[in-house]
Amino acid sequence: MRQKYGQNFLTDNNIAHSIVNIADLKKNDRILEIGPGKGILTKIIQPRVKWLTAVEIDTKLYRQLSYYFSFLNIKNIKIINKDFLKYDLMSMNSNTIVKNFNLNNNFKVISNLPYTIGTAIIQKILPSKNWTTSIFMLQKEVAQRITAQPYSKNYGYISIFASYYATCEILFDVSPKCFNPSPKVISSIVKLTNKKAKHPESIFFNFIKHVFNMRRKIISNGLSSFENLEKKHAINILKSCGLNPFLRPDNLSILDFMNLTKEIQRYRICRAQNLFF
Instruction: Enumerate binding residues for ligand SAM (CB under 6 A).
Output: 5-10, 34-38, 40-41, 55-58, 61, 83-85, 112, 114, 117
State in angstroms the smallest separation of the CB of 164 from ligand SAM. 24
**CA 205, CA 221: separation in Å to the nearest integer?**
17
**Which of 257, 205, 260, 200 is CA-nearest to residue 234?**
260
Strand boundaries in 29-162, DSSP class E: 30-34, 51-56, 77-81, 107-112, 131-139
Cis previous bond, 36, omega within 30: no
Q: To 5 degrees, how large is the angle CA 75–CA 48–CA 65?
A: 50
State in angstroms the smallest separation of the CB of 94 from ligand SAM. 20
Q: Which is nearer to ligand SAM, 85 or 97 (CB)?
A: 85
Q: What kind and span of H or E run contains 233?
A: helix 231-240
SS3 track for 67-94: HHHHHCCCCCEEEEECCHHHCCCCHHHH
41 near 25, Cβ under 8 Å?
no
Helix %, strand %, coil % for the chain, to 5? 45, 20, 35
State in angstroms the smallest separation of the CB of 132 from ligand SAM. 20
Q: Which is nearer to ligand SAM, 113 or 264 (CB)?
A: 113
Q: Which is nearer to ligand SAM, 91 or 152 (CB)?
A: 91
State in angstroms the smallest separation of the CB of 92 from ligand SAM. 14
Strand partners for 183: none
State in angstroms the smallest separation of the CB of 38 from ligand SAM. 6
**Which of 9, 13, 1, 39 is CA-nearest to residue 182?**
9
Q: Which is nearer to ligand SAM, 9 or 68 (CB)?
A: 9
Q: Which is nearer to ligand SAM, 28 or 116 (CB)?
A: 116
Q: Which is nearer to ligand SAM, 103 or 185 (CB)?
A: 185
Q: Which is nearer to ligand SAM, 37 or 249 (CB)?
A: 37
220 near 235, Cβ under 8 Å?
yes
**CA 236, CA 74: separation in Å to the nearest integer?**
64
State in angstroms the smallest separation of the CB of 10 from ligand SAM. 4
The residue at minimum Cβ distance from ligand SAM is 35
Q: Which is nearer to ligand SAM, 114 or 222 (CB)?
A: 114
State in angstroms the smallest separation of the CB of 159 from ligand SAM. 23
State in angstroms the smallest separation of the CB of 172 from ligand SAM. 15
